[in-house]
Amino acid sequence: MSKLKIEALTLIFGKEKEEALSLLKQGKSKAEILKKTGCTVAVKNANFEIEQGEFFVIMGLSGSGKSSLLRCLNRLIEPTSGKVILNQVDITSLQDQQLQQVRRKEMAMVFQKFGLLPHRSVLENVAFGLELQGVAEQERLEKAQSVINLVGLHGYEQQHTASLSGGMQQRVGLARALANDPEILLMDEAFSALDPLIRTQMQDELIDLQQKMHKTIVFITHDLDEAIRLGDRIAIMKDGEVIQIGTPEDILTSPATAYVSSFVEKVDRKSIVTAASLMFEKPTVAIYKKDGVEGSLRKMRSSGLTSLPAVSADKHFLGFVYLKDILELKAQGHKTIEKAILRDLPVAYPESTVEQMLPFIAENGRAVPVVDKDSNKLLGIVAQTSLLIETTGACWQNVNGNMMDNLQKEIV
Amino acid sequence: MRIGYYIEKLINWLSFQGEGFFDAVRVVVEAVVNSVEWLLLLPPFYVLILLIAFLAWKRSGWGLTILTLTGLSLIWGMGYWTQTMATLALILSSAFIALLIGIPLGIWAAKNAFAGKLIRPVLDLMQTLPAFVYLIPAVLFFGLGKVPGAFATVIFSMPPAVRLTTLGLKQVPRDIVEATRSFGATSKQLLFKVELPLALPTILAGVNQTMMMALSMVVISAMIAAGGLGEVVLKGITQLKIGTGFEGGIAVVILAVILDRITQSFGLKKEIKV
């Protein structure tokens, strides 16, 4: 079961919500509804599920409805229709007191503008959520202290929040949310107000923290780079609609609409695109012992390649064989290719990024073998040209189809 | 239109029907004012002067301390110590009552749009209606003396407390309120743990204004026998005793400056902290 499920969630701002809602059901556009009823459709029929422990990013430009959608999750804004189901309980049907309990125990929020209390110290700010729950002073200060140590605020406990830098203030915001030990962390453009360097640092720290905590995180951002860095999955919103949901790699390699691809073009793909999405599965291989000198030559001739990856009968990667070496062996009268196999070559894994594979090209000019980490079985190869296309920033769509077909022949 | 006629009817009806209520209010207010006055006159004058000077030094600094010492000694030297204490007692009690009613009203007006709309014109009326106009019903309700004086003072000095409380609460940044709600705060927790502390500097400015407004009613309330320094000034006016009038006036000014600086210092201190 999913941790958090959003069902047909719609949010309309304005007076004639009912009428706007029925127009929306008839399939009228946002602009038409605004013209007829004066109502703004902020979120339109959002449907998605978030798994336990997942880092889910909602990305969109300002006005896309992403922050409003987030606020519907803990009902800081009441959704007009639809359901928000947390652990099988529909949050939209809860009474005030039950909702307070959900906000206290299950969902905590981090804000773009921090929302800290200027009349309290860092320690008291962090303990604030526990204070609202009525936790005894000593216990809540102890808990707050442990979270403060966790987020790197040690030594700042007694400072007033206004005297801290933006990055430090957001650490307080994060610590305040974590002190409640919530199941779900809602983060509304949490790092958008920070300087680029501090932002990157905070992103890294959040990733580290998440590896320890395994919280379910819903993170809002307008920055696709940030979304890709942080998210296990990303939902892209435009004009109140979720237009694509997928892993960062899904979004980069198969953008659903032109709007998404216009974003994707600007993203630095080197650190995101992995060997798994670039590799040719089932490449032509020389199978050691089964394919002798003659067999290997035949495969090279039919595929037009001058080198082949060599694998054992159970597909373990052994190395590469080159045409000239095999011809040499043939001249010497050898039957097996054993002596021609170039061994101990660097290999990539399915999750290796383009960035990590780049040095391979510089080193030897061969295709990059991709093997399974545990079994060392050859899964496929990544052609040099693929790597070069990724690094020069060209999009797959721009690459000529024939070229794709010829890639393998060209460089192996 | 005989509006005056109906108002007169209403006031008469009120004073007759509400006699028990007004009597009760009278007893309580009189007790409060008298006990404050008794407390102020309990220690010898020099002890009280030193106490106030110490407070001035604590809250503000040497300048105000010297001003307090010389100013209050001058009042004593002019022979108006008891009248000044009577006035101070009346002001402190009235301001206290005005704040007791005004701050909750201000909170209500900030929280409830309807209440805000209802309260605003009433405040305008309280501030602009000439004070003499409600002195007469005050006398009808409470007779002559300190209590109607306090009543008129409360009416005149309450609006800034209400207005500045409302303003202070409305100025609390929305993102802080939202963050507090997102952590599951009840309305009560939101008000007492976040909104009121953040609005405090503005509310304290309201307290200061209420004090000053109360002080400005001193002479007017003396016209219905509230006593104190107002009586001294009034005597100066009615009997054309220029010297007496000025002496009373100077005493009022000294009291005003000291009260203003001390109450202001509370608001300022808070603001720096924030």
Q: DSSP class of residue A106? A: I
Residue-wise pLDDT tens digits, A105-119: 999 999 999 999 998
Interface test with B, best of A117, A159, A161, A220 (most B CBs within 10 A): A117
Residue in A74, A133, A162 nearest the CB of B182:
A74
Name every chain A residue with its beta carbon within 8 A of the beta carbon of B172. none
Name every chain A residue with its beta carbon within 8 A of the beta carbon of B186. 100
Using CA atoms, how far residue B272 sits from A31, A337, B35, B201, B265, in Å, is 49, 83, 36, 10, 11
Instruction: Answer whether residue A90 shows pLDDT above 90.
Output: yes
Calculate how close chain B gets to A118, using CA atoms only, in Å.
6
The torsion of the CA quartet B83, B85, B90, B96, rounded to 10 degrees, works out to 170
Residue-wise pLDDT tens digits, B46-101: 999 999 999 999 888 899 999 999 999 999 999 999 999 999 999 999 999 999 99
Name every chain A residue with its beta carbon within 8 A of the beta carbon of B203. none
- Are A115 and B179 in contact, with CB atoms under 8 Å apart? yes
d(CA A90, CA A69): 16
The complex scores an ipTM of: 0.79
Range list of β-strands (E), A61-129 = 81-86, 89-90, 107-110
Contact of A180 with chain B, judged by CB distance below 8 Å, is answered with yes
Calculate how close chain A gets to B177, using CA atoms only, in Å.
8
Average the pLDDT over A171-196 and give the result: 93
Tell me if B184 and A132 make a contact (CB, 8 A cut-off): yes
- Provide the pLDDT for residue A399: 47
Name every chain B residue with its beta carbon within 8 A of the beta carbon of A133. 184
d(CA A181, CA A127): 12
Tell me if B182 and A176 make a contact (CB, 8 A cut-off): no
Contact of A84 with chain B, judged by CB distance below 8 Å, is answered with no
- Are B189 and A132 in contact, with CB atoms under 8 Å apart? yes
The domain segmentation of chain B, as residue ranges, is 15-273
- Are A233 and A245 in contact, with CB atoms under 8 Å apart? yes
Nearest to B72 by CA among B258, B264, B228: B258
Calculate how close chain B gets to A104, using CA atoms only, in Å.
5
- DSSP SS3 for A270: coil
Scanning A181-210 for CB atoms below 8 A from B yields 186
Residue-wise pLDDT tens digits, A313-357: 888 898 888 888 888 888 888 888 888 888 888 888 888 888 888
Percent of chain B exceeding pLDDT 90 equals 73
Calculate how close chain A gets to B53, using CA atoms only, in Å.
29
pLDDT band at A383 (very low <50, low <70, confident <90, very high): confident
- Provide the pLDDT for residue A27: 85
Class of domain B15-273: mainly alpha
Residue-wise pLDDT tens digits, B228-259: 999 999 999 999 999 999 999 999 999 999 99
The domain segmentation of chain A, as residue ranges, is 48-264, 275-411
Calculate how close chain A gets to B59, using CA atoms only, in Å.
20
Interface test with A, best of B172, B182, B193, B202 (most A CBs within 10 A): B182
Percent of chain A exceeding pLDDT 90 equals 45
Average the pLDDT over A20-30 and give the result: 87
Residue in A76, A117, A131 nearest the CB of B181:
A76
pLDDT band at A363 (very low <50, low <70, confident <90, very high): low
Interface test with A, best of B181, B183, B202, B269 (most A CBs within 10 A): B183
- Are A179 and A213 in contact, with CB atoms under 8 Å apart? no
Taking the CA atoms of A132, A133, A138 and A140 in sequence, report the sign of the dihedral they define. Answer: negative
Long-range contacts at B76-84 (CB < 8 A, ≥ 24 apart): B76/B45, B76/B49, B78/B247, B78/B250, B78/B251, B80/B229, B80/B232, B80/B247, B80/B248, B80/B251, B81/B45, B82/B41, B83/B227, B83/B228, B83/B229, B83/B231, B83/B232, B83/B248, B83/B251, B84/B228, B84/B229, B84/B251, B84/B255
- Non-local (6+) Cβ contacts of B188 within 8 A are none
Instruction: Answer whether residue A412 shows pLDDT above 50.
Output: no
C-alpha neighbours within 13 Å on the C-beta side of residue B96:
10
Instruction: Answer whether residue B8 shows pLDDT above 90.
Output: no
Q: How many CB atoms lie within 10 A of CB A391?
A: 17
**CATH among 3.50.50.60, 3.20.20.150, 3.40.50.1820, 3.10.580.10 for A275-411:** 3.10.580.10
Instruction: Answer whether residue B126 shows pLDDT above 80.
Output: yes
C-alpha neighbours within 13 Å on the C-beta side of residue B185:
20
d(CA B39, CA B34): 8
Burial B126-159 (b: 16+ CB within 10 A, else e): beeeebeebbebbbbbbeebbbbbbbbbbbbbbb
- DSSP SS3 for A336: coil
- Provide the pLDDT for residue A364: 64
Number of Cβ pairs closer than 8 Å across A and B? 69
Contact of A68 with chain B, judged by CB distance below 8 Å, is answered with no
d(CA B114, CA A213): 47
Name every chain A residue with its beta carbon within 8 A of the beta carbon of B194. 117
C-alpha neighbours within 13 Å on the C-beta side of residue B192:
6
d(CA A314, CA A311): 8
Tell me if B183 and A176 make a contact (CB, 8 A cut-off): yes
Name every chain A residue with its beta carbon within 8 A of the beta carbon of B178. 76, 111, 115
Which chain A residue lies closest to B173 (C-alpha atoms)? A115
Q: A210-219, A377-386, B85-94: which range is least confident on average?
A: A377-386
Nearest to A183 by CA among A97, A270, A88: A88
- Are A105 and A180 in contact, with CB atoms under 8 Å apart? yes
- Provide the pLDDT for residue B191: 96
Tell me if B184 and A129 make a contact (CB, 8 A cut-off): yes
Nearest to B95 by CA among B213, B226, B246, B249: B213
Contact of B185 with chain A, judged by CB distance below 8 Å, is answered with yes
Where helices occur in chain B by DSSP H, the ranges are: 3-17, 19-41, 45-59, 62-78, 81-111, 113-128, 131-142, 146-170, 174-182, 187-189, 196-215, 218-222, 229-238, 242-273
Instruction: Answer whether residue A152 shows pLDDT above 60.
Output: yes
Contact of B180 with chain A, judged by CB distance below 8 Å, is answered with yes
Residue-wise pLDDT tens digits, A160-169: 998 899 999 9
Instruction: Answer whether residue A179 shows pLDDT above 70.
Output: yes
pLDDT band at B135 (very low <50, low <70, confident <90, very high): confident
Residue in B178, B184, B197 nearest the CB of A104:
B184
Tell me if A109 and B182 make a contact (CB, 8 A cut-off): yes
Using CA atoms, how far residue A228 sits from A164, A375, B91, in Å, is 29, 29, 66
Identify residue B218 by its one-letter amino acid code.
V
- Non-local (6+) Cβ contacts of A73 within 8 A are A4, A6, A84, A91, A107, A184, A186, A218
Instruction: Answer whether residue A411 shows pLDDT above 70.
Output: no
Which chain A residue lies closest to B175 (C-alpha atoms)? A115
Nearest to A119 by CA among B271, B266, B268: B271
Domain spanning A48-264: CATH superfamily: P-loop containing nucleotide triphosphate hydrolases (3.40.50.300)
- Provide the pLDDT for residue B272: 44
- Non-local (6+) Cβ contacts of A303 within 8 A are A284, A409
Instruction: Answer whether residue A142 shows pLDDT above 90.
Output: yes
Name every chain A residue with its beta carbon within 8 A of the beta carbon of B273. 119, 160
Scanning B235-254 for CB atoms below 8 A from A yields none
Tokens of A362: 């510089």
- Non-local (6+) Cβ contacts of B230 within 8 A are B87, B218, B219, B220, B221, B222, B223, B248
Average the pLDDT over A191-217 and give the result: 91
Which chain B residue lies closest to A181 (C-alpha atoms)? B183
Name every chain A residue with its beta carbon within 8 A of the beta carbon of B181. 76, 103
Using CA atoms, how far residue B87 sits from A48, B80, B102, B195, in Å, is 70, 10, 21, 34
- Provide the pLDDT for residue A339: 83
Computed over every residue of chain A, the mean pLDDT equals: 87
Q: How many CB atoms lie within 10 A of CB A311?
A: 24
Average the pLDDT over B3-28 and give the result: 89
Instruction: Answer whether residue A127 shows pLDDT above 90.
Output: yes
Question: Of the spans A377-381, B128-132, B141-145, B199-203, which averages the highest pLDDT?
Answer: B199-203
Average the pLDDT over A21-31 and give the result: 87
Burial class (CB in 10 A: 0-12, 13-18, 19+), A172: buried
d(CA A359, CA B94): 83
